[in-house]
Amino acid sequence: MPFPKFLKIGLYILGTFAVLAGGALTWAYQYRDDVFQYLLKEANARIRGTVTARKLDFTPFAGGFGLSFTLFDIHLRDSAYAIHHKELLALERLTVHIDLRQLLRKQLQINSVTVDKGKLSVFVDKNGYSNLQAVAPKDSSSTQDTTTSAEGSLGKELLKSLRQVKVKEMEVHLQDSLKGKDIHFCLEKITNDLERTDTCLWVHLRGKTQFRQLTFNLNRGGFLENKATELDLHLSYDLHRRVGIGPSEVLVEQDTFRLRGSFDFKDEGRVQLFVSTDTIAAPRALSILPRRLAKRIAKHKVLPVVKAEVSVDGPLRTGADPHIEVEVQTQTFLYKSAIGPLSQTVGRAHFTNRSDTSLPVSNQNSRLVAPHVSGLLYGVIPMNLSFTITDFDDPFLHMEGNTKANVARCKALFDPNQVQPKSGNVVVNFCYKGKISPIFDPKTNRLNGKLDGNAKLEKVAFLYTPQQIDIQRVDGFVRFAEDKADLTYLHVYHQKNQVRVSGNVTGLTPYAFGTTASVKAKVSIFAPDLGLDWIRNYRPTPQKTTKKQLTDITSKFIQNLDLKVHLAARRVHYRKFEAQGVSGRVYMTRQAIRCEDVKMHAFGGDFRVTGGIEQFDLPTHRLYAKGKVANADVQKVFYAFENFGQQTVSDQNLSGTLSTDFTYSTQLDKEFQLLPKTMKGQLSFHLINGQLNHFKPLLRIQKVIFKRRNFQKIQFEGLKNEFVLQGQELSMNQMKVASSVLTFFVGGTYSFGDKTDLLVHIPLNNLKRNPEEEELETLDGNNLLIRAVDERGEIRLKYDMDWRKKIRRPQR
C-alpha cells in the first residue's frame, strides 16, 4: 500500500475519533448540570435524609472510553442532625465513570465508582434511634415518593453496568449503644469488582484495611484492635437480602485467615462464618482477641503455633452472643506447667460456648475439650493428658493423665553425687477435678480441687551416693489423693535385705508444684533378715552438688521428712549385734533415728530398749538408750557391744545370766564408732551363775595368796549392784562377791581408760578351808586390803599386810 494512502486512512480514523470526542464533550457540558441535579433530586426524593454536594465535574476518557463525573464535598445527614451533629456520610470526592459508547446511544450507565477520603458514621443511641433513618424510604403518602416508573427505571439503568467500586481512605464507624457494639475501621485502598445476574450481585473485594476495633460486646472488649489487614473477599448479595462470603482470605499482619459464610438480613438477621488458619502463633492470635479475654488466656501460658478452624453462628440484631465452635491443632511447643517444663508439647482441642444445647450461649455454658495432649516433662519423661474446662466465668478443670518414665533415661535430672538412677520404670496415672486458676495455692500449700491417682514402680534400681546405699530393686504400688499417698505395697531389695513396706504419706503434693511442706510418713516395715551395717557408710560432709530438678525435689523432701515406722523383723544384725523377733516403733528424720519400745530376743534373753542416734548433720553423732535386759548371756552382751570400747574385761572373760535396767548415752564418730570418753549412764546390775575366766588382775592376787585355788575360772553365786558411768569411769558401791575361790568386797571406780581405782577387802577368814558363812558376811574381822590402780595402762595391785588392822565398814 502506498504510504500516502496509508496516511490518509490514519488521518481519517483520527478525525472520526476527534469528532466523536468533541461531540461527547459537548454533550457532557450540555447535560452536566442536569445530571448533577438529577442525582441530588433522585437521592433526596427517595430517602428521609438530606444529600448535598458542592459541585459536579467531569474528565473525558478517564479510565477507558468514557467520561468520569466527580461529585465534590458530599454530605448525607439525617433529619435529627441539628441535635446530635453526626453526619451519616461525608465524602471529599465521589467519581463515577460512564461508558461513552452507551452515552452516544443516549443511555446513561455507570461503569465504575471511586470514593476518595470520607467517613461513614452509623450510630444507635440508648433510646434506639439510629441515623440510618436518613437512608430509609420516605412515606408512601409523600408526593415526592410518587415517582414514575420511568424515573425508577432510570435509577436501575444507572447501576446496570456498574463493574467496579474503588474506595480510598474511607473511615467506617458503626456504634450501637443499645446493644453495646462498636465497629471501627478504615478502608485504606479497596477495589470491588462487580458482576450481576438477574438474582444476585457478585463482588470481589480486595485491598488494605486498618481495623481500629471490632467490638460486639463493650463489656468484653474488642477484636482486631489497631490491626492492619489485607482483604481478598468474594461476596454475593441476592434478592433475599443475603450476603454470602465465598472462599476468601484475610491477611492480619503476617497471618492468613481463610473464611466463608453468610449474613442474612431478613427479619432478625443471622450471621454464619467459618474461619481457618494453618500457622498462627498464639501471642499474635491473642492480640486479635479482646484484651480481657486475651489476658485470661495468656495467664495460663499456653502459647503455641496452632492450626485453627472457627465457626460462628448467631443473630445480627438481637444483641445475643453468637454460637462459636473452635477446633485447634498445635505445633510442638514448650509449656511451663506448675509441675515443671513440658517440652515438645503437642495437642488438639475443641471449644464451644454452647456445650448444653438446651441452654443459651454464655461463658457458663462454654467448654474446652482437649482429648489428647502429649509432651516430655523435664525433656525426658513422656506425659499424656486429656482435659476439659467448663464454666469460663469460674473455670473448672477435669484432667486425666499418665506417664511411664524410664528411670535410666532420667539420669540428667539427678545430681550423681546424690542419686544415680540405674534401671526400671515408674508408671503414674492421675485425675484432677477442680479449679484451674490456680490448680495449687502456694499460700495454703493445697490443691484447689480433688486429685486421685496411682503410681507403680517396676524393678527400679538406683544408688544413693552419700551413704553408698545400692538399691538393687524396688517394686511398689501407691494410691494417692490431694494430700495423702497410700503405700499398698513397696518391696525394697538392698544388699541381702528384703524389706516390705506399707502405710501412708501426707504432704507430698507441694513438692510436685515446687514448694515445700512438712512430710509425714507412717509405715509398717517387715524384713525377714535386716542388716544395718550400711549405716556406717553415712557421710557427714556431703560431696559437692549441682542443682538438678529431681535431686532438688528429693533433697527438700528428705529434709522435711518425718517418718514413723512400725518395724517387725525376724532377725536384725549390726556389726556383732544380733537379735531375733524384733518389733517396735522407729522414727526417722534427716537428723535422727529414734526407737520406741523396741522388743527383741537378744543375747540369749529378752531385750527392750528405747533410744536412738541423732545429730547426723554434725561430725559426731549422739547415741542414747534406755532399756531392760532380762536373763541375757553376759558374754553375748559384751560381744554384741564390742566390750563397750574397753579391753580390760572382755567377752572372753565373762559368762553368766544378766538382768539389768540401764540408761546410756555416748557420742559416735563419723564411722559410728563409740567415743568412750563421752559415755554416760546408770546400770542396775544382777548377774547369776556368773563366771570370770582368765581375768589377769585376779590371777595376780593368786601369786600372793591362795595359790592352790583355781583363779582361772571363778564362779559367783550372784552379783547385784548399782553402777554409774561417767566417761570411761564406772563407779560402783561396795559389793560382796562370793566366788568359788574366795569371798571379797569390792567398790570404787573401774575405768575403761587409765583411771581404775578399786578397793578390794578380803576377809582373812577365807584362809579357812571351810569358813562359816556368817564369818564372811561382814568386814568386822581382819581383812587383806588390795587396791587395784591403773599405772601406765596396766592394773597394779597394792597390798596392806597389817592383818590385825580393823577396817570399819562405811556408815550407811
Q: What is the pLDDT of residue 809?
A: 46
Domain boundaries, the chain: 577-675, 694-812
Grid cell, residue 312, equals: 460462628
The neighbour count for residue 629, using CB atoms within 10 Å, is 22
Q: What is the pLDDT of residue 518?
A: 78
Q: What is the pLDDT of residue 207?
A: 93
Low-confidence stretches of the chain (pLDDT beneath 70)? 1-32, 34-35, 39, 59-66, 99-108, 139-160, 216-222, 282-303, 305, 317-319, 511, 536-558, 644-648, 697-698, 700-706, 767-781, 793, 800-812
The neighbour count for residue 451, using CB atoms within 10 Å, is 20
Grid cell, residue 503, equals: 502405710
Q: What is the C-alpha to C-alpha distance for residues 728 and 639, in angstroms, rounded to an integer? A: 18
pTM for this model (two decimals): 0.69
- Give the Å distances, CA to CA, from 120 to 174, 478, 628, 675: 8, 68, 101, 97
The full 3-state SS of 598-643, as one line of letters, equals EEEEECCEEEEEEEEEECCCCCCEEEEEEEEEEEEEHHHHHHHCHH
Q: What is the C-alpha to C-alpha distance for residues 428 and 544, in angstroms, rounded to an integer? A: 32
- Give the Å distances, CA to CA, from 516 to 247, 382, 513: 56, 25, 9
Helix (H) or strand (E) holding 284: helix 282-288
Q: What is the pLDDT of residue 538?
A: 56
Q: What is the pLDDT of residue 806?
A: 43
Q: List phi, psi (to 5°) of 465.
A: -65, -45
Q: What is the C-alpha to C-alpha distance for residues 640 and 69, in angstroms, rounded to an integer? A: 119
CB 381 within 8 A of CB 404: no
Quote the longest CA-to-CA distance of the chain: 180
Q: What is the C-alpha to C-alpha distance for residues 13 and 311, in angstroms, rounded to an integer? A: 59
Nearest to 86, CA basis, from 54, 129, 117, 116 = 129
Q: What is the C-alpha to C-alpha distance for residues 165 and 526, in angstroms, rounded to an integer? A: 89
Grid cell, residue 700, equals: 595376780
| β-bridge partners, 710 | none
Q: What is the pLDDT of residue 65?
A: 55
Amino acid code (one letter) for 645: G
Residue with grid cell 446511544, as numbered in its chain:
105
Q: What is the pLDDT of residue 289?
A: 57
- Interval 291-323: pLDDT, tens: 665 566 656 566 676 788 888 888 876 667 788
Grid cell, residue 2, equals: 502506498
Grid cell, residue 439, equals: 490448680
Q: What is the pLDDT of residue 159?
A: 58
At 575 the three-state DSSP class reads coil
The neighbour count for residue 751, using CB atoms within 10 Å, is 21
- Interval 416-468: pLDDT, tens: 887 889 999 999 999 999 988 778 888 888 888 899 999 999 999 988 887 77
Grid cell, residue 495, equals: 544388699
Nearest to 308, CA basis, from 257, 271, 362 = 257
CB 321 within 8 A of CB 353: yes
CB 801 within 8 A of CB 785: no
- Interval 267-279: pLDDT, tens: 778 888 888 888 7
Q: List phi, psi (to 5°) of 137.
A: -60, 145
Q: What is the C-alpha to C-alpha distance for residues 643 and 648, in angstroms, rounded to an integer? A: 9
Q: At what angle do helices 3-46 and 149-160 cross, to 10 degrees?
A: 130
- Interval 383-417: pLDDT, tens: 999 999 999 888 899 999 999 999 999 888 888 88
Q: Which residues contact 425 (CB under 8 A, 6 or more apart)?
A: 404, 405, 406, 407, 457, 458, 459, 460
Q: What is the pLDDT of residue 37?
A: 75
Q: What is the C-alpha to C-alpha distance for residues 653 and 638, in angstroms, rounded to an integer? A: 10
Amino acid code (one letter) for 639: Y
The neighbour count for residue 100, using CB atoms within 10 Å, is 21
| β-bridge partners, 690 | 716
| β-bridge partners, 630 | 606
Grid cell, residue 808, equals: 570399819
Residue with grid cell 455507570, as numbered in its chain:
110
| β-bridge partners, 168 | 116, 189
The neighbour count for residue 769, using CB atoms within 10 Å, is 5
The full 3-state SS of 777-802, as one line of letters, equals CCCCCEEEEEEEEEECCEEEEEEECC
CB 243 within 8 A of CB 263: yes
